[in-house]
Chain A
Amino acid sequence: GAVVSQHPSRVICKSGTSVKIECRSLDFQATTMFWYRQFPKQSLMLMATSNEGSKATYEQGVEKDKFLINHASLTLSTLTVTSAHPEDSSFYICSALKAGGLTTDTQYFGPGTRLTVL
């Protein structure tokens, strides 16, 4: 099956600093990647959809200047949390869409990144 990796798996930072999270599709090219956030005991909430070579589409209520997304290649998307605050502490999960045709595109999920902002 297809593999999606995330780095780092866990990060602790001080309030006010910026943190970059990488999402890579290891064995396939992904023109579309998704970023989700999951708070404890809650479900995944889509933050944004990123398409290679174009600007990301953010969901309502997600600040695009705070959560910078770059999808510079077909195998890499990055999420940068700028000026992080304790309320940004969460589990961030990326997902990559593997093209297979109209009915067989499959979305694969990364293992997640635990961000703790002190």
Chain B
Amino acid sequence: KQEVTQIPAALSVPEGENLVLNCSFTDSAIYNLQWFRQDPGKGLTSLLLIQSSQREQTSGRLNASLDKSSGRSTLYIAASQPGDSATYLCAVRRGRSNTGKLIFGQGTTLQVKP
């Protein structure tokens, strides 16, 4: 059974800091891994998607890495801003196609203080 764990559960940093969010999964047989952002009471916004054959993806100040063999992914946020405050969810997709089930971690709630 695939389990996804995110550490830490919550994080508070001053504005401008670089930070790393961690995600681990128990079954390395994944199709892809995705990082989402969720604002309070809102739906999910996809940030980065890494296919199982890829090692990292970058978008602006965000960089996500994937080490499938060790079951780990990290989301690196550079020069954090108050607008980055949100909950960040990691999800792995099971199976061999893009229609496999998404398994979510419990998220890391980030607060960036001005």
Q: Does A54 contact B (CB under 8 A)?
A: no
Contacts across chains A and B counted by CB atoms under 8 Å: 52
In the assembly, what is the distance between CA of A93 and CA of B99, in Å? 17
- SS class of chain A's interface: helix, strand, loop or mixed? strand
Instruction: List chain B residues, Cβ under 8 A from A112.
Output: 41-43
Q: Which residues 53-88 of A have a CB within 8 angstroms of B?
A: none
CB within 8 Å of A: which B88-106 residues: 89, 91, 97-99, 101-102, 104-106
Question: Does A102 lie within 8 Å of B98, measured CB to CB?
Answer: yes
Given A43-B107, A44-B89, A102-B97, A107 contacting B43 (CB threshold 8 A): no
**CB-defined contacts of B91 to chain A, threshold 8 Å:** 44
Let me know if B78 is at the binding interface, CB within 8 A.
no
Enumerate chain A residues within 8 angstroms of B89, measured Cβ to Cβ. Answer: 43-44
Cβ–Cβ < 8 Å partners of A6 in chain B: 43
- A32 and B99 contacting across the interface, CB-CB below 8 Å: yes
The reply to whether B41 and A43 form a contact with Cβ atoms under 8 Å apart is no
Which residues of B from 24 to 53 have beta carbons under 8 Å from A?
Answer: 36, 41-46, 51
List chain A residues, Cβ under 8 A from B44. Answer: 44, 93, 95, 109
A46 / chain B contacts, CB cutoff of 8 Å? 101-102
* Residue among A34, A43, A93 facing the most chain B CB atoms (10 A cut-off): A43
Q: Residues of A with Cβ closer than 8 Å to B?
A: 4, 6, 32, 34, 41-46, 49, 91, 93, 95, 97, 102-112, 114
5 contacts between A and B (CB under 8 A): A44-B104, A97-B98, A104-B98, A109-B45, A111-B42
